């Protein structure tokens, strides 16, 4: 089963503290201090969105920082995801 986001939306999955550390980020305190990092699971096709051409800059597997409270949380197969617009993604961590 697969979530296919529409328009300029992307599906992301919150990263666990240990995953974040593995990717090189030092989290001296609690993981709760940095809850805005996630991995991109699915990317919408972009195109005309509310009358404006949107090109997707994000790709599956990107580690991203996103706006707190942005998007809608959904639960599929016991796993929680967030669906948000690409414009709510602030940056990619490389």
Q: Shortest Cβ distance from residue 14 to its own copies (Å)?
A: 15
Question: What residue has token string 């706006």?
Answer: 67
d(C-alpha 46, C-alpha 2), whole Å: 18
Reading the block at residue 40, the tokens are: 């991109």
* Residue closer to its own copies, measured from CB, 60 or 76: 76
Q: Shortest Cβ distance from residue 19 to its own copies (Å)?
A: 14
Q: Shortest Cβ distance from residue 80 to its own copies (Å)?
A: 10
Nearest CA to 83 out of 69, 72, 75, 67 is that of: 72
Neighbouring residues of 84: CB distance < 8 A, sequence distance ≥ 6? 9, 10, 12, 66, 67, 70, 71, 72
Interface with its own copies (CB under 8 A): 1-7, 9, 11, 23-26, 28, 33-34, 36, 42, 44, 48-55, 57-58, 65, 67-68, 72, 74-78, 83, 86-87, 89-94
* Residue closer to its own copies, measured from CB, 18 or 72: 72
């Amino acid at each position: 089963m697969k979530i296919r986001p529409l328009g300029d939306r992307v599906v992301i999955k919150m990263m666990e503290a240990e995953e974040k550390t593995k990717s090189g980020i030092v989290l001296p305190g609690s993981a709760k201090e940095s809850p805005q990092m996630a991995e991109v699971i699915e990317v919408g096709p972009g195109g005309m969105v509310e009358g404006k051409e949107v090109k997707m800059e994000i790709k599956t597997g990107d580690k991203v920082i996103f706006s707190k409270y942005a998007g809608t949380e959904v639960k599929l197969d016991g796993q929680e995801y967030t669906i948000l617009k690409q414009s709510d993604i602030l940056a990619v961590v490389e």
